[in-house]
Amino acid sequence: MSLHDDRPSAGAEEAVEGTELGGAAASEEAAAHASEGKNGNGVDAHGHGGALAEEASHTESLARERDEYLFALQRTQADFENYRKRITRQQGEMTARAAADLVVKLLPVLDALDLAEAHFNESLDLTEDGKALRASRAMLMDILTKEGLERVDQRNIPFDPSVHDAVAHGEGEAGDTETMVDEVLRSGYRWKGQPLRPAMVRVRG
């Protein structure tokens, strides 16, 4: 028997075998952890991806809901603005009609003042009462004119059926090629450019 035996001893063989078993166990444990996840928390990459997809879907749903609320608010605001404009227009029309109705009620007063004015023009001596009445007529006409009342009492102009009411017919003059207003028997009026009452006239031609 030689002095140097190359075979490993029993203790050495057991150490090598233990090392191999330990490495195998470590490899199996590492594989198990890898199957469970990198952080060992049981959540893999697919789990993280599912959470991100769910969050994105929730965000998209919130965005759609926000847009729906915004559209509804804009529509409500537009409806209210249209309502406000309609009410303002209706109020303006009602005010204009009420003013026109009031002026129509004042026309007989103006007619009476016109008759008084014609009488004053024929009188050579105007009394103080006459002067006061003439001044009152001028003041009333000035106020109504500024508000939109226009008097229709011109003579020698073409007859216009929209503002003239022919109640008499006279003989035409040489050179007349159309029906003309010969005389105004009662003044007519326009209110804010619209015919309010036609003038009673005598025409010629």
CATH code: domain of residue 182: 2.30.22.10
Residue spans of the chain under pLDDT 70: 1-49, 123-124, 172-176
Identify whether 156 is part of a domain: yes
Strand pairing partners for 133?
none
Residue 79 domain-assigned (yes or no): no
Which one, of 115, 145, 109, lies nearest residue 130 by Cα?
115
**pLDDT for 38:** 46
Q: In total, how many domains does the chain have?
A: 1
Element (H, E) at 171: none
- % pLDDT > 90, the chain: 50
Q: Is the pTM of this model over 0.75?
A: no
Residue 44 has phi, psi (to 5 degrees) of: -95, -175
Q: Which domain holds residue 201?
A: 151-205
Q: What pLDDT sits at residue 119?
A: 82
Residue 87 forms part of a structural domain: no
Q: Are strands 149-152 and 188-191 parallel, antiparallel or unpaired?
A: antiparallel
* Tokens encoding 75: 């529509």
The verdict on residue 180 lying in a domain is yes
Asked whether residue 88 is domain-assigned, the answer is no
Domain-located, residue 126: no
The answer as to whether 6 is a domain residue is no
* Residue 170 pLDDT: 79
How high is the pLDDT of residue 174?
A: 61
- Residue 90 CB neighbour total at 10 angstroms: 10
Predicted local confidence at residue 29, as pLDDT: 55
CB atoms < 10 A from the CB of 72, how many? 10
Residue 175, domain member (yes or no): yes
Q: Which two tokens stand for residue 161?
A: 């059926």
